Amino acid sequence: MSQLPDATGHWGAFGGRYVPETVMTALYELEAEYKAMKKNSSFNREFNQILCQYVGRKTPLYFAERLTRKIGGAKIYLKREDLAHTGAHKINNTIGQILLAKRMSKPRIIAETGAGQHGVATATACALMGLDCDVYMGAVDVKRQRMNVFRMELLGTKVIPVESGSQTLKDAINEAMRDWVTNIENTFYCIGSVVGPHPYPMIVRDFQTIIGQETRRQILDQEGRLPDLLVACVGGGSNAIGLYYPFLEDNAVRIIGVEAAGESIESGKHAASLGQGSPGSLHGAMSYMLQDEHGQVLEAHSISAGLDYPGVGPEHSYLKDIGRVEYVSATDQESLDAFRLLCETEGIIPALESAHAVAHAVKEADNMSQDEIIVVNLSGRGDKDLEIVEGLV
């Protein structure tokens, strides 16, 4: 399963390239350039050097001893992506894609962003490499996440508010795609998750796989064996697939993805595309998605803006259907409780996205023995969420 996607960008029935004809040639070009760069030693050297000296990799694999003791079950390790530059795993991907754009001589970068984390990571990489950058952001999110808008502007990026549709992430992706269709000759679209048409889900996964590769070496070094369970949150699913990928063939390692259950699954106000959705075509790929009985895309709901998306990466859809990964969900309230728990027991303020993973991991830990090991991907830090959390915990 780690050989996938196939030559046409599919994981079984999922993935593919469901986009307007105008961008098809550009997708083939991107795929060819990416495959060449993957084997290019100077590209890889530059990528690794930036990850090491600028992003601050490798990030620690931290044994959360007080949290573990408090739960009284399996040992809980945290992969500290929150310590990467800009405060989340998103930077791994944007450094890779912007390096690729630069080598493809594309002078202009566009990106979409929900809460602003991918927007900030893209703006950062563009400032680092001296490229022009426009970021599409739903008008509702622009208002909700003013500090991230300001961050992007400080980094020299233009933030374009999207007034169409629900004015959130889904609409920001639509508008970024429309821009790309229009300015295809000089513009590189830097997608922020393992979504979109082939080759994007593969490229973003490959750039995020560093998370799992480091984790594997670190746990072998620190514990002398592989973990029993991996847990990560899933919106589009890039931090999750980055952690899972190097472990997919290790059948003894259980893998769980945690979607946002929002207010609750029963309320219908959630973002559980895999748990509650059905297969369809959204933003260029076939995957599970939230849709009504007529194939219209539904709005997602989550306290965490990074999980507030009605689709999910096609590789996750495949991993669900073949049963390799279990997908569960955590509610807003459960995540807030986990947020507080991690603050108090470990002195770590997690992103609300990552708090979903923590919320489920402590449930699992409770039912596991003390000699078992869980690795949780702590995908981002929570400074960005303080205004939302204030008054709720």
Partner 1 sequence: MTIRKTFARLRSAHEMALIAYETAGFPSLTDSISNIRLLADNGADIIELGIPFSDPIADGPTIQASSHVALEKGISLEQILEIVSHVETETPLVAMSYLNPLLSYGQNHLFEDMKSSGFSGLIIPDLPLEESGDWQRKARENGIDLIFLVTPTTSAERLTALVKASEGFIYCVSLTGITGARTALPPHLSEFIKKVKSLTDKPAAVGFGISTPDHVRQLKGIADGVIVGSRIVRAMKNREDVGALVRGLKEACIES
Q: Which of 70, 80, 103, 178 binds partner 1 (CB under 8 A)?
A: 178
Residue 163 designated active-site: no
Residue 33: active-site member: no
Residue of 1, 13, 24, 36 that binds partner 1 (CB under 8 A): 24
The minimum distance between CB 16 and partner 1, in angstroms, equals 6
* Cα gap 222→211, rounded to integer Å: 16
Active-site residue flag, 379: yes
Give least dist CB 383 to partner 1, A: 32
| E strands, the chain, in order | 10-11, 14-15, 61-63, 75-80, 108-113, 132-138, 158-162, 187-189, 229-233, 254-262, 278-282, 285-289, 326-331, 373-378
- Say how many C-beta atoms besides its own lie within 10 A of residue 278's C-beta: 11
Compare residues 181 and 388 and give the one whose CB is closer to partner 1. Answer: 181
Buried b (16+ CB within 10 A) or exposed e, 205-224: bbbbbbbbebbbebbeeeee
Q: 16: how many CB neighbours lie within 10 A of its CB? A: 20
Nearest to 215 by CA among 201, 203, 226: 226
CB of 8 to partner 1, least distance (A): 6
Q: Which two tokens stand for residue 353?
A: 């996205």
User: Between residues 25 and 44, which has the closer beta carbon with respect to partner 1?
Assistant: 25
Structure tokens at 142: 């622009």
**Member of 182, 267, 367, 370 binding partner 1 (CB under 8 A):** 182
> Among residues 39 and 294, whose Cβ is nearest to partner 1?
294
CB of 3 to partner 1, least distance (A): 20
Q: State the nearest-atom distance from the C-beta of 328 to partner 1, in Å.
A: 26
In the window 204-223, what residues touch partner 1 (CB under 8 A)? Answer: none
Ranges within 129-168 binding partner 1 (CB under 8 A): 164-165
Three-state SS annotation for 293-359: CCCCECCCCCCCHHHCCCECCHHHHHHHHCCCCEEEEEEHHHHHHHHHHHHHHHCCCECHHHHHHHH
For partner 1, the closer of residues 310 and 382 by Cβ is 310
The residues, ordered by sequence, that sit 6+ positions from 150 with a Cβ below 8 Å of its Cβ are: none
CB of 105 to partner 1, least distance (A): 17
Q: Cβ(330)–Cβ(356) under 8 Å?
A: yes
Report the site for partner 1 in 289-318 (rule: CB under 8 A): 291, 293-297
Q: Which is nearer to partner 1, 77 or 136 (CB)?
A: 136
Q: Which of residues 250-289 bind partner 1 (CB under 8 A)?
A: 280-284
Q: Tell me the sheet residues that pair with 15.
A: 10, 286
Three-state DSSP state, 214: helix
Choice from 17, 89, 216, 320 touching partner 1 (CB under 8 A): 17
Q: Does 12 bind partner 1 (CB under 8 A)?
A: no
| Rounded Cα gap, residues 229 and 18, in angstroms | 34
Alpha carbon distance 140, 58 (integer Å): 35
Q: Which of 90, 106, 170, 384 is catalytic?
A: 90
Stretch that binds partner 1, among 15-23, 42-50, 65-73, 249-257 (CB under 8 A): 15-23
| Least separation in angstroms between CB 206 and partner 1 | 22
Among 2, 13, 25, 158, binds partner 1 (CB under 8 A): 25
Among all residues, which ones are annotated catalytic? Answer: 90, 112, 379
Q: List interacting residues with partner 1 (CB under 8 A).
A: 8, 16-26, 28, 164-165, 170-171, 174, 177-178, 181-185, 280-284, 291, 293-297
